[in-house]
Amino acid sequence: MQFGFLGISYQTADLKMREQAAFTDEKKMEFFHMAEEAGVDQCMILSTCNRSEVFYLFEETDQADQIYRLYQEMFSEADLGQYIRRGQGEETVVYLFRVAAGLESMVAGEDQILGQVKQAFEFSRMMGACKKELNKIVRDALTCAKKIKSELKISEKPLSVGYIGIQKLNETCKIRGKTVLMIGSGTTAALVLQYLQEYGAGKIFLCSRTYAHAGNLQKQMKHLVVVPYHERYQIMKACDIVISATSAPHLVVKSCDFQPQKPLVFLDLAAPRDIDPSFDSDPDTILIHLDTLKEIAEKNQKERIRLVKESDQFIQEAKDETLHWLKISRMDGTIQSLQERCREISEDSYRYLSRKMDLNDREKRLLQKVLHASLQRLLREPIQELKHLDTREEQEAYQKMVHQLFRIEEKERSL
């Protein structure tokens, strides 16, 4: 049995193409059904905004080709051929481990993908498309990802300018309990407002030229106090922190219009600048701007790259353990049959001896244990040999030999 994958991702296809290859739950169920008819009864579909991929276990090369055709037919309206990436064996195990750890994500080390892999795994299990082998591979991938995240903490090196800005702001002036003015109501401002909540900011004022946008944010965050844009200077007098993130082509906070009467920290997240650079020389103010944050982001990016390389060792170790388990799992059926035969012989011998000998209950239990332990000891070395067979050809030859030597009836094998 081999492990394979195919699909598209942000690495091979643009957003428009990825949107055309997105799996709905209904399409996932349909794909599972068609894959089972093709002889592939174990697969997992990972469908996110950045990837549309199928991980599956197969016996014959023809089955892998059928999965490829099914994937193309599922999205026949899109010409996916040149964008589809395929892999199998060790390459696929490594790839899934890297995906789960966020090492194949657009932002290296991001956390969201781990939850998405868990959801894909649970959906596969719910649909009956996950058995022993796929269950083992995916669980090992999730365990490895958690180990990488807990020990290397890649995601704790933020790259988002907004988040880096808030972190820097908190280092400069503890945010908790502080009064803040947020100027702007776009995407960046919305994220910054969420971060301010997480850091425990006190009263938060919001002003924007687009009052409707500010109103929408207020509906989402009831604690916000929306004020008219033209009153921003008056509000600043009561604030400890002023953050600006607008798309204005000019300064929105000018030193000629506002002179701080107490210590004030400015965070300027706009390009071009929103806040007058001359505040940087004012003894009552601290100005944090994009150039400062860019340096931190670049440093974090380099550190993430270093940590991603360091994570390769975790991946390799986990991958080797998983591949070894997959290899010996092919012999599980034979080993189980051998142990069952051992148990049958042990019980037959016990029944015969207990009839011939006058034993009390304690002696009977002891006899039963000795017989079973003796036969298990006899089988221990042969079983270890079976577990260390390297090739499929060797495994099949030994399986046949064991069944003949021990007269074991043919049972379904876990291959």
How many whole angstroms separate alpha carbon 157 and alpha carbon 380?
50
pLDDT at 177: 95
pLDDT band at 56 (very low <50, low <70, confident <90, very high): very high
Contact 40, 57 (CB under 8 A): yes
pLDDT at 108: 73
What secondary structure letter does DSSP report for 247? -
CA 132, distance to chain mean position in Å, is 21
- Convert the pLDDT of each residue in 185-232 to its tens digit: 888 888 899 889 989 999 999 999 887 788 888 888 878 999 999 999
The conformational region for residue 177 under phi > 0 = left, psi -120 to 50 = alpha, else beta, is: left
Kindly state the average pLDDT of the residues 373-384.
72
Q: Give the H or E element holding residue 8.
A: strand 2-9
Q: How many CA atoms lie within 13 A of 89 on its CB side?
A: 2
- What does each C-alpha distance from 314 to 114, 141, 305, 378 come to in angstroms? 16, 11, 15, 37
- Which residue out of 43, 49, 144, 342 is catalytically annotated? 49
Q: Tell which wins on pLDDT, 291 or 129.
A: 129
The set of residues, in sequence order, having a beta carbon less than 8 Å from that of 128 and lying 6+ positions away, is 32
pLDDT band at 338 (very low <50, low <70, confident <90, very high): low
How many whole angstroms separate alpha carbon 70 and alpha carbon 76?
9
Kindly state the average pLDDT of the residues 394-414.
58
Contact 340, 383 (CB under 8 A): no
Contact 50, 3 (CB under 8 A): no
How many whole angstroms separate alpha carbon 133 and alpha carbon 343?
26
Contact 265, 173 (CB under 8 A): yes
This prediction's pTM: 0.61
Question: Is the pLDDT assigned to residue 126 strictly greater than 60?
Answer: yes
pLDDT at 388: 61
pLDDT at 368: 83
- Convert the pLDDT of each residue in 14-32 to its tens digit: 888 888 999 999 999 999 9
Question: How buried is 302 (Cβ within 10 angstroms: 0-12 exposed, 13-18 middle, 19+ buried)?
Answer: exposed
- Convert the pLDDT of each residue in 243-266 to its tens digit: 999 988 899 999 999 999 899 999
pLDDT at 413: 43
Kindly state the average pLDDT of the residues 59-70.
93
Dihedral through CA 65, CA 68, CA 74, CA 77, nearest 10? -110
Q: Which long-range contacts (CB under 8 A, 24 or more apart) does 125-132 make?
A: 127/28, 127/29, 127/32, 128/32, 129/32, 129/35, 129/36, 129/41, 129/42, 129/43, 129/44, 130/42, 130/44, 131/41, 131/42, 132/329, 132/414
The percentage of residues in the chain with a pLDDT greater than 70, rounded to a whole number, is: 87
The crossing angle, in degrees rounded to 10, of helices 25-37 and 61-74 is: 150
Cis ω for the linkage preceding 272 (within 30 of 0): yes
Q: Tell which wins on pLDDT, 274 or 187.
A: 274
Binding-site positions for NADP(+) read 184-189
Question: Is the pLDDT assigned to residue 59 strictly greater than 60?
Answer: yes
Question: How buried is 109 (Cβ within 10 angstroms: 0-12 exposed, 13-18 middle, 19+ buried)?
Answer: buried
Average pLDDT along the chain: 86
pLDDT at 343: 78
- What does each C-alpha distance from 75 to 17, 69, 71, 72 come to in angstroms? 10, 10, 7, 5
Kindly state the average pLDDT of the residues 352-361.
84
Binding-site positions for substrate read 48-51, 105, 110-112, 116
What secondary structure letter does DSSP report for 410? P
Sheet of strand 2-9, all strands in order from the earlier edge strand to the far edge: 43-47, 51-58, 2-9, 85-88
pLDDT band at 412 (very low <50, low <70, confident <90, very high): very low
Kindly state the average pLDDT of the residues 62-73.
94
The set of residues, in sequence order, having a beta carbon less than 8 Å from that of 302 and lying 6+ positions away, is none
Question: Is the pLDDT assigned to residue 331 strictly greater than 60?
Answer: no
The crossing angle, in degrees rounded to 10, of helices 392-405 and 361-387 is: 150
pLDDT at 386: 60
Q: For 187, list phi and psi in degrees, rounded to 5.
A: -60, -45
Question: Is the pLDDT assigned to residue 160 strictly greater than 50?
Answer: yes
pLDDT at 38: 93
pLDDT at 401: 67
pLDDT at 414: 41
Placement of tokens 């996950």 in the chain: 130
Kindly state the average pLDDT of the residues 80-108.
90
pLDDT at 79: 86
The set of residues, in sequence order, having a beta carbon less than 8 Å from that of 181 and lying 6+ positions away, is 204, 205, 206, 207, 232, 235, 236, 239, 241, 242, 243
How many whole angstroms separate alpha carbon 15 and alpha carbon 3?
27
Kindly state the average pLDDT of the residues 107-113.
79
Binding-site positions read 48-51, 105, 110-112, 116, 184-189
How many whole angstroms separate alpha carbon 408 and alpha carbon 382?
15
Contact 274, 248 (CB under 8 A): yes
pLDDT band at 411 (very low <50, low <70, confident <90, very high): very low
49 is known as an active-site residue: yes
